[in-house]
Structure 1
């Protein structure tokens, strides 16, 4: 198909005299093309001939009537009573080692530098980084573990602040995934597919449930400044993309410097009143075009202009932390006052939860520990430990934890054997998709439980496996969504976050 202009582009002012472009007849062929390209949601939008589908979607979603124009055609959302209204996903890109965090294996100390038994490895696929090693020496963690809380969770000494809220979360030790390399594994965790171009989990939730606050984005992304500078995973917007869904479901990435959102401030000489008049004028032209052509993207454009205008007031208030008391700064730690740090982002996540942001995702990178693991894990855990514990405690003391789901984890685990050399105080670990640990807190999760078990080498799962698809299905369930019923027709398939391979909700994790 050749190049075609979007109907809204017909509003362009070419500087000539004569009748307004809005008065010109629409070519029959162009109008027919837009009719042929119509989807189910385009039909609904066109039939309504109303701004309500897009312009009022956020307001109606706040009232619980509908989430977005697309969600309006998905009857009965939420599908059942939600346990959580919102979610915060703390994503540790690079794959944190389960041995140094949540999966305590004390017997490994007796096996220092012994070869991993072939019966455990079982000829399983290894990455190219270690497949050629002549030996696979067992590397016990050099860090101590202690039990915390009523639940008695075993937690590494690297995470003393998170350990203080151990009774609030459920640890899943039996996570597993399909991918052995970072990029496909991160994509699978965040979009349900190892191929780029699919909607992210936050976008699916936005599509299904819509907004809780019509003045702020439904899905917000925060990326964290890092205490390490090497071996860092690249992050791209495809991890928070809306894919084939409407672009208004994509994550809005807040920046750590300048305007939190690009072009948020008005240019010099443009007042808020003048900006309002400009948007009203453009919206009126778009409304007239929509009446004549029926393309719902025109309504989506109107809604995006309106959201941008509202964000000019709501985002500065959100990011103005001057009203936070000293006790909060002490709770989150000294880095919380530095925009863009993980600590700052955790505090921002709490503020967004208070203001009704539906899905907040914080990315923290650098967890790819192929070498020099002990030193690197000390730095990384110190960076995230106090803010993570503070976020859980802060949500609880404000009465928000009960209906806010918090998820922590990465894309896969690490090997019990060392990559490269091994000494008593230095080692590295390769990628390991067969088992790893994550945790969930609040939002209907059963607090204090441990789910799933691994063998003595944390190499294979021995009880209650949880695939990453199962985790995503469970996250949707806690938010009141049946993952089998949240679909979108694309490329001839009813597309889902959990894909075509069966996924199960892990109801044992729920309170």
Structure 2
């Protein structure tokens, strides 16, 4: 204990009183119980006794990579970083990737009861007496050597289909937006669980000491279903693992800039003294959150220099802005956020999460889809091209998708040129690209109505287990004990989809 800490204690009567309460009898009681438990645990299976600290690790791992204090990664990872392009609202798979030509001759016919098979409906469709089939009015074509079907709404993405792995048999348990988004991001429909980025931050740590491990970006002026900070929250994990939202404008991170008329010359001195105070408190209370608080203060100090540099796009050449599209010059747009994501990934930020709202087309589905594609198609394709030409796609995982799909039947009025689609959790499409994922590959298949998965279903927990696997993590062994139970991202389910891996 340094001299300054002794002075702090000598001048603080409350701390002196707290320390006196830990007398010899209490010390021996607490420590002997702890030592006894450890001794008994050593007689048992170490994995059961110590949980995720000793996970039955693979001893054949190459000595060239180092396991952290949790024993992670369990095996050699293929992904070093991930960018998750989350399309909030439930993009319609039938207007984008799931081509269903047989529906063209079934316009307005009622969806056969044998296809719907009593599946759960939302409150918006429950009162419908009929379920008229609405074929997509957006044309499709095949592209690339993989001959993947892509709609005309995504002309730029069609140029990179041979880099993509389409998963057309996605399924979820939730039928409404809030629980469905929460389920996709945290593995639970109930709020309060750690997000995927928080799990990876806690388990694998950071590759950049000057930026957060987990950063979220939200498209500005987003319309549609609301988004909540808990979607990138830490849940019950230590708070330094929560995602940090970068915003457009003068201050990308709230409260990061110095107050007006303060030059920050004594910031380091103030932080050092504050850490001494926090160490005194930690020694007295033993609260691990005090460590988290100190880590956050230190990160904020370093971010005052690193964030302005990484969020400055002025040094990007004109051809990059042209590749990402005209919106990329407008901070806070989806295009600008895609370009920002590439810069963050270059700085080895482990998890970058983009959110784009507006995919909730209960009415005017064709027009709404085209409008969203106009904003997202070019920058999404540009990000994949940009990563590839920089040699980063081989260890960067790109994910695109929403929380569920849309129904084949029209919600509300159906006309030959317009229709709406309701939520559909039992069949939707996502795609992945990059680190460890098969390029130019399509996995899973739906029926002729894009209503049921008939080949290779992939549940949300399967997707999450596969994500963890690509980072060298066994999702069943990576747990965190909270309130007497060991939790994991995939709860009690999930299987790695090995068929889509290289």
TM-score under structure 1 length normalisation: 0.87
Asked if 1:318 corresponds to 2:318, the answer is no
Once the two structures are TM-superposed, the CA of residue 27 in structure 1 deviates from its matched residue by 5.1
C-alpha change, 1:21 and 1:265, in structure 2 (3 Å) is farther
Structure 1 residue 147, shift from structure 2 partner: 0.8
Q: Counterparts of 1:398 and 1:260 in 2: how far apart (Å)?
A: 26
Q: Which has the larger displacement, 262-271 or 345-354?
A: 262-271
Number of the residue aligned with 2:185:
190
Name the structure 1 match of 2:76: 81
Give distance in 2, aligned partners of 1:95 and 1:256: 25
Partners of 1:19 and 1:491 lie apart in 2 by 37
8 Å CA contact retained: 1:192, 1:499: yes
- Return the alpha-carbon distance in structure 1 between the equivalents of residues 14 and 279 of structure 2: 11
Shift in Å, 1:266: 1.1
SS of the residue aligned with 1:471?
helix
Q: CA deviation at 1:29?
A: 5.3
- CA–CA distance in 2 between the matches of 1:294 and 1:435? 48
Aligned partner (choices 140, 164, 170) of residue 145 of structure 1: 140
In the other structure, the counterpart of 1:53 is none
Pairing 1:510–2:496 present: no
Aligned CA-pair RMSD: 2.3
Alignment map for 1:148-163 (pairs within 5 Å) = 148-163=143-158
Aligned counterpart in structure 1 of residue 121 of structure 2, from 117, 126, 130 = 126
Aligned residue in 1 for 2:385: 393
Q: Secondary structure at the match of 1:89?
A: strand
CA distance in 1 between partners of 2:291 and 2:244 (Å)? 19
Q: What is the CA-CA distance between 1:298 and the residue it aligns to? A: 2.3
Of 261, 268, 277, 2:260 maps to: 268
What is the correspondence of 1:360-371 to structure 2 with a 5 Å cutoff? 360-371=352-363
Return the match for 2:319 from 317, 320, 327: 327
Q: What SS does structure 2 have at the residue aligned with 1:392?
A: helix
Is contact 1:215–1:310 with CA below 8 Å preserved after alignment?
A: yes
Paired residues of 1:66 and 1:210 also in contact (CA < 8 A)? no
Hey, what does 2:287 align to over in structure 1? 295
Q: CA deviation at 1:493?
A: 1.6
Q: Give the distance between the partners of 1:21 and 1:259, measured in 2 at CA.
A: 41
* Contact 2:239 2:289 (C-alpha < 8 Å) held by counterparts: no
Q: CA deviation at 1:270?
A: 2.7
| TM alignment of 1:463-502, pairs within 5 A | 463-500=455-492, 502=493
Which of 448, 472, 478 is matched with 1:456 structurally? Answer: 448
3-state SS, counterpart of residue 436 of structure 2: coil
The number of equivalent residue pairs is 463
- Pairwise CA distance, 1:19: 2.6
What is the match of residue 418 of structure 1?
410
Kept after mapping to 2: 8 A contact 1:342/1:387: yes
Tell whether the 8 Å contact from 1:93 to 1:410 is kept in structure 2 after alignment: yes
- Report the equivalent of 1:5: none
1:244 corresponds to which of 230, 236, 240: 236
When the two structures are superposed, what TM-score results if normalisation uses the length of structure 2?
0.88
* CA distance, structure 1, for counterparts of residue 265 and residue 144 of structure 2: 55
Distance 1:24 1:268 in 2: 38
Alignment correspondent of 2:53? none
Q: How far apart, CA to CA, are the structure 2 residues paired with 1:497 and 1:299?
A: 24
- On the 8 A contact 1:22/1:288 being kept in 2, the answer is no
